[in-house]
Structure 1
Amino acid sequence: MPVIEVTKDVDTHSITIVAEFAATVERLWELYADPRQLEQVFGPPTYPATFVEHELTEGTTSKYFMTSPDGEKYPGLWRITSVDRPNGFTFEDFFATENFEPAEDLPASECSYSFKPTAEGVRATYVSVFTSAEALQEVLDMGMKEGATSSINQIDAFLSA
Structure 2
Amino acid sequence: MEDKLKTTVDGSVLQMEWTFAAPREMVFAAFTQKEQLEAWWGPEGWETEITTFDFVEGGIWHYCMRCKDPAQGDFYGMESWGKAIFRQIDAPHRYAHADYFSDASGMISEELPGSENETTFETVGNRTRVVFRSDFKTEEAVKQVLEMGMKEGFTSQLQRLDDWLVQRTM
TM-score (structure 1 length as normaliser): 0.92
Say yes or no: does 1:125 pair with 2:126. Answer: no
The structure carrying a bigger helix percent of its residues is 2
Tell me which residue corresponds to 1:28. Answer: 27
Change (3 A) 1:51 1:108: same
Q: How does 1:98-137 map to 2 (within 5 A)?
A: 98-137=104-143
- Report the aligned-residue RMSD: 1.6
> Does structure 2 retain, via aligned residues, the 8 Å contact 1:2–1:156?
no
Say yes or no: does 1:149 pair with 2:150. Answer: no
> Which of residues 78, 81, 92 in structure 1 aligns to 2:84?
78
> CA offsets, 1:70-104, max 9 Å, x none?
22221100000000111121100000022111111
> CA offsets, 1:87-137, max 9 Å, x none?
121100000022111111110011111001111311110111110011111
SS in 2 for 1:156: helix
> Does structure 2 retain, via aligned residues, the 8 Å contact 1:2–1:19?
no
Bigger mean CA deviation after superposition, 123-132 or 35-44: 35-44
Tell me which residue corresponds to 1:55. Answer: 54
TM-score (structure 2 length as normaliser): 0.87
**Offset at residue 43 of structure 1 (A):** 1.3
Unpaired segments ≥5 residues, structure 1: none
Q: What CA distance in whole angstroms lies between the structure 2 residues aligned with 1:75 and 1:119?
A: 36
Tell me which residue corresponds to 2:8. Answer: 7
**Offset at residue 4 of structure 1 (A):** 4.4
Alignment length (residue pairs): 159
